[in-house]
A = this chain, B = another copy of it.
Amino acid sequence: MHEALRAYIEKYASDKITDADFELVKKSFIFKRYKKGQYLLQEGEVCKYSAFILKGSMRQFSVDAKGIEHVIHFGIENWWVGDRESLTMLTPSKYNIDAIEDSEVLLITSEDLQQLGDQLPTIGKMINTMNQRNFIASQKRIHDALSLTAEDRFLELQKNHPDFLQRFPQTMLASYLGITAETYSRIRKKALK
């Protein structure tokens, strides 16, 4: 069950982790299942855990005053979800995180993750790499949201995450791209021609 996490750590740390150290890591995580539609986090709560996804998929989204959902992140196997602002500042979250499919995750508190990072150089390195990747992905998403047309945003998504297009409902994909479901449907048809 923890093998995916171990592979992730070693990939992101560019280093092996000893069995003894990995035993410490395992102890800090809680295994949990989420049924499709079940919430890991609801708006207004303080986010307690980062979740490493073993199986399934999740999304982080806000709901505006008109009741419209805005998906800001998707998470699939070997990705993390969690509202980092709420996790680190201990403020009530503006976001919801729910399971798009039946999912299995490993949960860890920020405190435990930080402690592991201080204690084990491998985890420290993994956290550094995660921060860098996160920042790079965020910068790209900001850039694309501000500078690309809806059509080009769709094409970027198709290029970088073709699996998303198969896996997630069109309404969620449209929301992730910041466009209406109608626009999404039109662009998709045109792109598939």
Contacts and interface: CB of A to CB of B under 8 A. Distances in A.
Interface of A: 62, 64, 68, 70, 72, 84-85, 88-89, 94, 131-132, 134-136, 138-143, 145-147, 175-178
A142 B145 CA distance: 7
Contacts of A141: 142
Given A89-B136, A136-B89, A142 B143 contact: no
Nearest to A85: B136
Contacts of A85: 135-136, 139-140
How many copies of this kind of chain does the complex include? Answer: 2
A70 B70 CA distance: 23
Contacts of A139: 72, 84-85, 138
Nearest to A138: B138
A177 B145 CA distance: 10
